[in-house]
Each structure stands twice: as C-alpha cells, then as structure tokens.
Amino acid sequence: MTHVRPAFLLLLLANCTAEHAQGTAQTAAKSPLEASVPSVGASLPPASALTSASSSAVPTAEPKATSERNPRPTFTPPSDGKRGTTIDFDYDGSDRRDRSRAYSGRIFLHRKVYEADGPLPLIVFFHGLNKDLIPHRWMGGGNEGDVREILSDLLDRGAVAPAILAGPGSVQKAAVSSGSSFPTFDFDAFVDQTIAALDPRIPIDPKRIVVLGHSGAGCSEKGGIVSALSSSRPIHAVVSIDTCMPGSLASALGAASPTTHVVVTWQTASWTREFDHFKKVFSGATKKNPAAQGTLRELDQLPNLPRSHDATVKQTFDKWLPQLLPAAP
C-alpha cells in the first residue's frame, strides 16, 4: 500500500485552489458584451427575457428552425398608408434607342409576400390610355382606382395566393397617342427590370405570371397585353379587361399557348364595340388552337355598375384572380 504524505496533499490542494481562482478572474475580466454573446449554435432568449432587467438566465430551448434563423425582410408599412411596400424604377428606352418605349415601373409587395415561402407569382397590370401622362395610373396615380388596394383586399381575405404586383406607367406621349397603350412594348425586358428591382430573397415564379390589361392596353396589335403572348417565359394567364376588343386581339388571344389561361371581360353601359365579331374571331382561333384540358378560354360580360368602365377592373380582379391564383388550402 502506498502512503501519501500530508505535506504533498497540502501542496496539491493549494495548486487546485489557485487554478480555480485564476479561471474565475479570467471570466470576470470579460467585457459585458463578450460575456453575453452565446456560442455558435446556442439558443437566444425570448424577447421578454431581453427586455427584463431581472432576467439573467438564458433559456435552454431547442435551436430554431432554419427559416426562423434566416427570416425574410421585415415588413414595414409605407408612409402612404398602403398595406405593403411600393418600389419604383424607371426605364428610358435608351438601350433600344427609342424614347417612346420609356415608362415608369412600379412594384407593390403586400405584407403577405414577406411571409410566403418559395417563388411567388407575378401579376403584371397594364393601365389604359393616359394622355395626361399621370405617373403610375391605377397604381396610385389618377382617380380611377388603385389595383394595389384591390389586390390587398383579396390577399387580406386569403382569396388568392401571395403575389407580387408590378406595372408600367406611360410617361411618353408616343406611348398613348395612337388610341392604344404601350403600342411597342418589350414584355420580357419589363419582367427583367422588375426582378432586378426586387430583393433576391423575394423570387418570382416564372411559371405563374398573370397579365391583366385595362382599356387601351388591349387596343394594340402587338403592344400592351398582346406583347406578353410572345414572351420567352411561359405565361400563366392573360386577362383583357374592357378593352377595344378588336378582331386582331381576338385572334392573338385565341392563338395563345394551349397552357395559357385567357379571360376576356367587358361591360355594355358606356362603350359600344363589335362584340359579335370579336366572339366569332375568338371562337375560330380557339378551334384552330385548342386549349389544354383545364385551361380557360372565357368570354365574360360583367354586370353594369356605376362608372362601369373603371368598375370592370375590380370586378375582374375579384372574380378571376382567385381562380387563376388560388390560395393554398
């Protein structure tokens, strides 16, 4: 049996006491900031603990999910009182050496956009004639209405999937003086500009692009909503809202991709057009180019309301967007 001398035990006890005291002194020497920073992977305390001066213990909760550790940008209501964030950008047409193509773009992000997961649908809205060149007509400019509010009502009710709203605003007389809106328009370039103006954490779903155009936006053979039909991207839907309804529009819409939904709405209280001719041409075009199963080809005469022409925008949004972009169950 080995005997340990009392003097050795006293020396060992003294060394342990000194090491403990040194470690305590090093911990006390840390700044308050250093002492409060948790190690990598440690759980942070809840907000109530951070705001309470008497709370000193950090809860030992499970680590948060990845989506919580890397949240989407925080929603901040804009100063104009709308229910989302508005982003503006300008295009001057200089890359095409054609100033008549210039427009002022506007994007609207409802608060639910920031809470949604995955790529989001893009709704592109073309306003009608704007000979007064009012900035952002139907998206804050003019007195007809505001599609940001119309979409917000639908999103607040959970009637449609969270979606990004964007639209060009005519700022050149050449773009509105011929009886149509945006007679020459590069749809793909507009979508590219919209994507460039967005935070990369808010991606667009290229398979869910819905295009709506009011009044003069459907009076051009190649521009306005018709420009979307030649897009390199697959267009989910094109909606004509109380436009001129010429035979050329009927032909273009009837010949849309078999997987592109087509909806045409109109009213009869304030604008007489050749409805029978439009229907005949549209029907013939759809027979030559039948839609895929489940793809809409709809002609929809809306009830006449006060200010009937302008009222068709909200009527169409309310009736058809829930069908084109249904909310998840």
d(CA 326, CA 329): 9
d(CA 172, CA 179): 14
Residue 75 lies in a domain: no
- Tokens standing for 254? 């009837």
Among residues 231, 226, 193, the alpha carbon closest in space to that of 209 is found at 231
Q: Furthest-apart CA pair in the chain: how many Å?
A: 116
Residue 157 lies in a domain: yes
In the chain, the percentage of residues whose pLDDT exceeds 90 is 59
Q: What is the mean pLDDT of the chain?
A: 80
Domain holding 307, by residue range, is 83-323
C-alpha distances (whole Å) from 204 to each of 109, 113, 116, 161 are 12, 11, 12, 13
What's the CATH number where 261 sits?
3.40.50.1820
Residue 60 lies in a domain: no
Residue 6 lies in a domain: no
- Contact (Cβ atoms closer than 8 angstroms) between residue 319 and residue 238: no
Q: What is the pTM of this model?
A: 0.76
Residue 36 lies in a domain: no
What is the DSSP-derived secondary structure letter of residue 255?
T
Contacts (Cβ under 8 Å, ≥6 apart) of 286? 254, 297
Count of the separate structural domains present in the chain? 1
d(CA 282, CA 252): 8
Residue 308 lies in a domain: yes
Residue 191 lies in a domain: yes
- Contact (Cβ atoms closer than 8 angstroms) between residue 131 and residue 176: yes
Residue 241 lies in a domain: yes
Q: Which tens digit of pLDDT belongs to each residue from 13-48? A: 444 444 444 444 443 333 322 332 232 233 323 333
Q: Which tens digit of pLDDT belongs to each residue from 96-143? A: 776 667 889 999 999 999 889 889 999 999 999 998 889 899 999 998
Four-residue CA torsion sign, 149, 243, 171, 134: negative
Q: Average pLDDT in the 185-205 region?
A: 94
